[in-house]
Amino acid sequence: MTGQPVVYVLDDDELVRNSLSCLVRSVGLRAELFATPDEFLAFERSDAPSCLVLDVRLPGTSGLAFQQRVAKIGLRIPIIFMTAFGDVPMSVKAMKAGATDFLPKPFRDQDMLDAISVSLAQDRERILGEQSLAGLHASYASLTEREKEVVGYLLAGLMNKQIAKEVRLSEVTVKLYRARAMKKMGSRTVADLVLKTTLLGISPTRHAPLVPKVKRNVGSMAM
């Protein structure tokens, strides 16, 4: 996560854009202004936390339609809607689609700043989560095939002795592979290892059902 947080403003009204630019910069944030959706999409965005302040009415389209377009192309950015023509159904639709706020024009400066603060915090959490997940992917990729195999059986709930039987290795060797896998994944407990691999979408390894041994009752055996 690098650079100064950015507030993107998309509105076809130049006065509104400039006014929002002054407001955003007054609290030490960076502002980037756009008159059309195509201008915004063509702009090279930074990796810093950001949000989009979006007018509901845009040239040739609507803010709600653009919100859907943004989601469709996989651009994950919090959106704050603003409009002079909004109604309750419109605001409900926008919020259900993931908007962080819906402000009527004219809005109070503090209301906009509060909405921006919430949106930037939300995007910051998203970025940190993605970075953490990327680190987990790298850690799991560093495991050997044997270590991944042992982890798969751990996810299935098998004990060391049971895993040893499945992979045809000694229990001591299985413990070694498990310890190495946990170290590489930064896990001190099996529960933490299971949680991290589950977040990565790793599935438990299928194994043959363990059939419990049945004790024979000698007295009931046929003579």
pTM score: 0.69
179-217 per-residue burial string, b: 16 or more CB within 10 A, e: under 16 = eebbebbebeeeeebbebbeeeebebbebeeeeeeeeee
pLDDT tens-digit readout, 56-101: 988 888 889 999 999 999 999 999 999 887 676 777 788 887 899 9
Cα–Cα distance for residue pair 210/153, rounded to 1 Å: 13
CB burial class (10 A; 0-12, 13-18, 19+) of residue 24? Answer: buried
pLDDT (tens digit, 9 = 90+) per residue, 139-166? 999 999 999 999 999 999 999 999 999 9
pLDDT tens, position by position, 13-54: 999 999 999 999 999 999 999 999 999 999 998 889 999 999
* Residue 208 scores a pLDDT above 90: no
Domains annotated on the chain, with CATH: 6-135 (3.40.50.2300), 142-199 (1.10.10.10)
Q: Is 45 left (phi over 0), alpha (psi -120 to 50) or beta?
A: beta
Return the amino acid letter for 64. L
3-state percent helix, strand, coil for the chain, nearest multiple of 5: 50, 15, 35
